[in-house]
A and B are shown apart, each in its own frame.
Chain A
Amino acid sequence: MQDIVKTIQGVPLNHYILLSAIIFSIGVTGVLIRRNAIVIFMSVELMLNAVNLLLTAFSAFSNDPAGQVFVFFIMALAAAEVAVGLAIIVMIYRNTNTIDINVMNRLKW
């Protein structure tokens, strides 16, 4: 384990922030360019994970375990969100026979 600790020690926190920003932007781009509802959902998961990684990095860099507890809560929340969201997608597919999000514009006037 000391090897791992030594391994991480050279990486500055800025690079973790940059990595999380890149992956978050990829998630946002995925939400914008795809029309498949499930792929959009996966992009949202990607964004959540980028935030998780950043929280863990901050926690490890500031020696505060509270950040990792927050990540734990975010994971529980993501599990609940995925269950409800996929149930909604299944219901939409049953009613409209497609998961193209352009069909679901009934709330738009």
Chain B
Amino acid sequence: MAVFYLVAFLSIFFSLLVIFSKNPVHSVIYLIITFFTFTIHYVLLNAQFLAIVNFIVYMGAIMVLFLYVLMLLDLNVNSEPVKSSLMKIAGIVAGMCLLVTLAGALKGSGFLPAGAHEEVVQRPNLGLVKNLGQVLFHDFLLPFEVSSLLLLSAMVGAVLLAKREPREI
């Protein structure tokens, strides 16, 4: 139980560092650490498959993509555009207002009857690959195939966008 609060504190701390650090490369590093804490959360929630996919896809693929683009654009110099402090304060106030609204809505809704948290993780093998695969390929077969189409179109679009246009047109 204490592990959850420790890891939750770490996630909040590192996600704050992501948005407040000046250097974008440091932001990416902190984001990787944040995603690692999310992986620990998935393990604690007994979702082993998602933990591994989060580890591979987010910490591996997406973060490498971010770092690669960041180094390709040569932004690790202090060319960081600064926003006026008034806008920053307004943004922070707006974000905190959203947080207060969400927390107030949660508190006021009376969501969750008392004692609902005692039946956590009744089926310990809920998040295993075998279980998830059966659900994925029985109930969600069409969305799965459509998502492959989405990935293909995203790949074509990314290549087309990032390609340098020929000059003669």
Contact = CB atoms under 8 A, between A and B. Distances in A.
Interface of A: 1-2, 4-5, 7-15, 17-19, 21-30, 32-36, 38-39, 41-43, 45-46, 49, 52-53, 56-57, 59-61, 63, 65-66, 68-69, 71-73, 75-84, 86-91, 93-94, 98-100, 102
The 8 closest A-B pairs by CB, nearest first: A29-B95, A32-B91, A30-B19, A80-B154, A25-B99, A10-B1, A12-B117, A33-B91
Interface centre among B3, B8, B150, B151 (most CB of A within 10 A): B8
Contacts of A80: 150-151, 153-155
Interface residues of B, number: 89
Given A9-B120, A35-B82, A100-B81, A77 B140 contact: no
Interface of B: 1, 3-4, 8, 11-12, 15-16, 18-19, 24, 27-28, 31, 34-35, 38, 41-47, 49-50, 53-54, 57-58, 61-62, 65-66, 69-70, 72-73, 75, 80-83, 87-88, 90-92, 94-96, 98-99, 102-103, 106, 111-112, 116-124, 126-127, 131-132, 135-136, 139-140, 143-144, 147, 150-151, 153-155, 157-159, 161-162, 164
A21 B106 contact: yes
Given A11-B117, A21-B103, A60-B120, A99 B162 contact: no
